[in-house]
Structure 1
Amino acid sequence: MADFSAYGVPSPEWDELTGVTDGASVKGFAAQGFLDLTGLDEIAETTPDDPAFVSRLEELQRKTDASREIESAQWWKDTGLKEKVSVEDVEIATRDGKSVPARLYRPKAGGPDKKYPVYMFFHGGGFLFGSLTGEDVTCSTIANALQILVVNVCYRHTPQVRYPTPFHDAWDSFEWVSKNIDDFGGDSQLITVGGISAGGGLAAYLTLEENKRAPGAGRIKGQMLGAPWLLAPKLAPVNLLASKEVSAYHQCRDAPVLPASSMALFQALLRQENPTDNYIQVSKDEEWAFKGMPKTAILVAGMDPLRDEALLYGQELEKRGVSTSISIFPGLPHGFRRFKSLPSTPKWDKAHIDAIAWFFEPTTA
Structure 2
Amino acid sequence: MSGMTSLGLIEYFSPADRKIADWFILTMTTGFPWGSGVDSRLQITDTKLRDVRVKIYQPANSLGKKKRPVLVYFHGGGWSLLSADCYDPIMRKISRESDVVVISVDYRLSPQHPFPVPLNDCFDVVEYVLDNSDTLGVDSSRVAIGGDSAGGNMAAAISLRHQKRIALQLVLVPVLQIINWQTTGYMENVLYLNKSINSPNSLVFLTNYLNLSPAYAHQFLINNHTSPEFKKSKYFDSVDQKKWMPKKYVRTKDLWENIEYKKDFGNQELFKKVEGYLKEPLISPLIADDETLSGLPFTYIMTCGYDFIRDDGIMFHEKLKYLNVKTELAHYPEGFHNALMFPHGPLKMDIGVKIIADIVRILKNKL
TM over 0.5: yes
CA displacement at 1:37 relative to structure 2: 5.4
2:94 pairs with one of 137, 142, 160: 142
Which residue of the partner structure matches residue 133 of structure 1?
85
Which residue of the partner structure matches residue 267 of structure 1?
206
Secondary structure in 2 matching 1:174: helix
Residues 59 and 100 in structure 2, CA contact (< 8 A), matched pair in contact too: yes
Q: Which amino acid aligns with 2:204?
A: L
1:354 pairs with one of 326, 340, 361: 361
Residues 4 and 77 in structure 2, CA contact (< 8 A), matched pair in contact too: no
2:53 pairs with one of 94, 101, 108: 101
Mark the CA change 1:141 to 1:67 in structure 2 (over 3 Å): closer, same or farther.
Answer: same
2:21 pairs with one of 58, 64, 67: 64
Residues 189 and 306 in structure 2, CA contact (< 8 A), matched pair in contact too: yes
Please state if 1:293 is matched with 2:296: yes
Please state if 1:180 is matched with 2:132: yes
Please state if 1:229 is matched with 2:175: yes
Provide structure 1 residue ranges, at least 5 long, that are not aligned to the other structure. 1-33, 41-52, 94-98, 212-217, 361-365
RMSD of Structure 2 on Structure 1 (CA): 2.7
Which residue of the partner structure matches residue 258 of structure 2?
none
Which residue of the partner structure matches residue 91 of structure 1?
48
CA displacement at 1:72 relative to structure 2: 5.5
CA displacement at 1:113 relative to structure 2: 3.2
| CA deviation string 1:64-97 (max 9, x = no partner) | 023334556658999888221001222122xxxx
Q: Which amino acid aligns with 1:230?
A: L
Which residue of the partner structure matches residue 238 of structure 2?
none
Secondary structure in 2 matching 1:102: strand
Residues 76 and 137 in structure 1, CA contact (< 8 A), matched pair in contact too: no
Residues 75 and 137 in structure 1, CA contact (< 8 A), matched pair in contact too: no
Tell me the distance in 2 between the aligned counterparts of 1:311 and 1:253: 18
Secondary structure in 2 matching 1:176: helix
Q: Which amino acid aligns with 1:257?
A: I
Tell me the distance in 1 between the aligned counterparts of 2:13 and 2:35: 32
Provide structure 2 residue ranges, at least 5 long, that are not aligned to the other structure. 212-273
Which residue of the partner structure matches residue 259 of structure 2?
none
Matches within 5 A, 1:183-262: 183-211=135-163, 218-232=164-178, 235-236=179-180, 241=182, 247-254=184-191, 255=193, 256-262=196-202
Mark the CA change 1:289 to 1:200 in structure 2 (over 3 Å): closer, same or farther.
Answer: same
| CA deviation string 1:261-284 (max 9, x = no partner) | 11x211111126321111121001
Mark the CA change 1:111 to 1:275 in structure 2 (over 3 Å): closer, same or farther.
Answer: closer
Mark the CA change 1:105 to 1:72 in structure 2 (over 3 Å): closer, same or farther.
Answer: farther
Tell me the distance in 1 between the aligned counterparts of 2:292 and 2:68: 29
Q: Which amino acid aligns with 2:197?
A: V
Residues 192 and 359 in structure 1, CA contact (< 8 A), matched pair in contact too: no
Tell me the distance in 2 between the aligned counterparts of 1:76 and 1:86: 21
CA displacement at 1:186 relative to structure 2: 1.4
| CA deviation string 1:290-321 (max 9, x = no partner) | 11321111111111011111100000001111
Mark the CA change 1:54 to 1:169 in structure 2 (over 3 Å): closer, same or farther.
Answer: farther
Mark the CA change 1:142 to 1:107 in structure 2 (over 3 Å): closer, same or farther.
Answer: same
| CA deviation string 1:107-127 (max 9, x = no partner) | 111241343111111100111
Mark the CA change 1:180 to 1:69 in structure 2 (over 3 Å): closer, same or farther.
Answer: farther
Secondary structure in 1 matching 2:280: coil
Tell me the distance in 1 between the aligned counterparts of 2:289 and 2:197: 32
Mark the CA change 1:111 to 1:333 in structure 2 (over 3 Å): closer, same or farther.
Answer: closer
Tell me the distance in 1 between the aligned counterparts of 2:349 and 2:13: 30
